[in-house]
A and B are shown apart, each in its own frame.
Chain A
Amino acid sequence: MPGQVGIVGVPPLVIIEEIQRRGDLIIDLDEPQVQAPMDLSASRIPRVYCAILRTVVLNCMHLRLDRLYIDVGPGKCDCALHVAEILADMLPIPVIRTRNQDTRSFGHPLCTADMPLVEKFTRITRGVQSAAPYPDLDACQPVCGFWGVPPRDFSLLSLFPPTTHIFGWTRCMENKTPADLALEQHFDPAIPTVFFSQSFCAKSALAQHLAAKHPRAVAIDCDVTAGSSTRAKIEAFLELSGIEPQRGGAD
């Protein structure tokens, strides 16, 4: 009988292939999977902490899983390394730590495609559950860039035009090489770029550092949900860069 397997971060390809061979269902615990207040996780993990990992803990408190893979290597973060300890104590199932250092490039056609940014991120994060190669997609001429991890709140992505190119860890994610620091640091200096990080994430240092090197950039961070100030900041940056922000988003 197929089981339910939770994943945190991007486990090595060999693990994804194994899960698929067994016919198990993969649940991406980095994304909200349950309708429950985030504060419920405060008994297990500090409130002032990465919202992605708080979401992982919240999901684990409510879902019935048979097994959990959590990447704790250079392709994820030290916070995941520590949260793995919490999950191992908390859950009556195997919590398997992985260190994804895959180097086989799958390419990143979605990152450069002409497609609503929310759709691109949805497909990229869903792509973690598959070991299949990507179909070809034409790269578009970019008007701006988004650098960073997939945000906890996708609604902030709705402000960007479909010709936004994706950089940073999300590009590594699509490429299936999450520990590729050189690829993570790549950006296009010719296009205005938003350098995004989750609040309280170690990657915020890299986001600020790269934004300072980029000639037209802004670094922003966001916790659980994108508040009006975060949205306004992105809107202003796009507007002042000569790009009309999309108005169809949440809020």
Chain B
Amino acid sequence: MLLADFGTSYCKIVDTTSDRAPRIMATRELQRSFCADLATGHNAARRSKKSINELTALARGGRRLINRGDFVLLDCGSRDIKFIRFEDGEVADMGWNAECGASMGFTIELLAAYYRLDYSAIPVPETGFSITCGVLGMSHIFDSVVMGASETEAVAKFVRGIALNAYRFAREPKELYLSGGLCDNPLFVASFPCQVNPLGRFVLLEGLQTTLEKNCLDP
């Protein structure tokens, strides 16, 4: 069975009949004819035989990976952010910001490529920009550079602002589990004002795996 998480920028794919680890590929490089058996994400309905909702996949993946009854799981994607809060093993709160908080992950990656930055070598700045989305945040970077800040410093403040925005969106928990590509960005992870446990990029695939097993058990 081919399971796929079709993200806006990257696709995560795993073949459950093989021992090979999940693979990540740029969405723009995925063959047009590719079709998964079970998938989630923006293009899932078009590119799979069966699809499930992203937030549902996130919740099921979180429940599978996190052995606790109470936790907050935040997924920061290329285009949107989502969170789920579990209480006593049940979903107690959730959110999905796809409009006003849009394009955060995408913009962070774009800026690194444009300014040739290595996020693992940038310290967390003392303050961040107050920003609501990737596009509006770009204006802060340009203004800051015009005012004399270095590009690296300005982008670092942008990243910190994005992290703070995501943290507030998740209702400011003392501790959170992080899912998505930004787990690999040390500056982003360190910019949260709370304890962060990165889970990596395959949480939604784990949610698909749970769905698959559940469906197999209950045909």
Q: Is the CB of B94 within 8 A of A218?
A: yes
Q: Which residue of A lies closest to B95 (CB)?
A: A218
Shortest CB distance B200–A (Å)? 21
Number of interface residues of A (CB under 8 A): 17
Q: Pick the contact of A236 from B42, B55, B80, B93 — CB < 8 Å?
A: B55
Q: How far is the CA of A232 from the CA of B43 in the complex (A)?
A: 12
The answer, yes or no, to whether B96 is at the interface (CB within 8 Å) is yes
> With A215-B92, A216-B92, A240-B59 as given contacts, are A229 and B53 in contact (CB-CB < 8 Å)?
no
Say which size band chain B's interface belongs to. 10 to 19
Q: Cβ of B91: which chain A residues have Cβ within 8 Å of it?
A: 240-241
Residues facing B in A178-221 (CB within 8 A) are 199, 215-218
The answer, yes or no, to whether A239 is at the interface (CB within 8 Å) is yes
| Interface 1/0 per residue, B122-165 and A, CB below 8 Å | 00000000000000000000000000000000000000000000
Q: Pick the contact of B96 from A236, A239, A241 — CB < 8 Å?
A: A236
Q: How far is the CA of A239 from the CA of B40 in the complex (A)?
A: 14
Pick from A199, A236, A240 the residue with the most CB of B within 10 Å: A236
| Interface 1/0 per residue, A126-147 and B, CB below 8 Å | 0000000000000000000000
| Interface 1/0 per residue, A227-250 and B, CB below 8 Å | 111101101110111000000000
| Interface 1/0 per residue, B44-64 and A, CB below 8 Å | 000000000111100100000
Shortest CB distance B195–A (Å)? 23
Q: Pick the contact of B94 from A199, A229, A236 — CB < 8 Å?
A: A236
The answer, yes or no, to whether B213 is at the interface (CB within 8 Å) is no
Residues facing B in A145-167 (CB within 8 A) are none
Q: Is the CB of B55 within 8 A of A229?
A: no
Q: Cβ of A236: which chain B residues have Cβ within 8 Å of it?
A: 53-56, 59, 94, 96
List 24 A-B pairs, Cβ < 8 Å: A199-B99, A216-B92, A218-B93, A227-B99, A229-B80, A230-B98, A232-B53, A232-B54, A232-B55, A232-B96, A233-B55, A233-B96, A235-B53, A235-B56, A236-B53, A236-B56, A236-B59, A236-B94, A237-B55, A239-B56, A240-B55, A240-B56, A240-B84, A241-B91
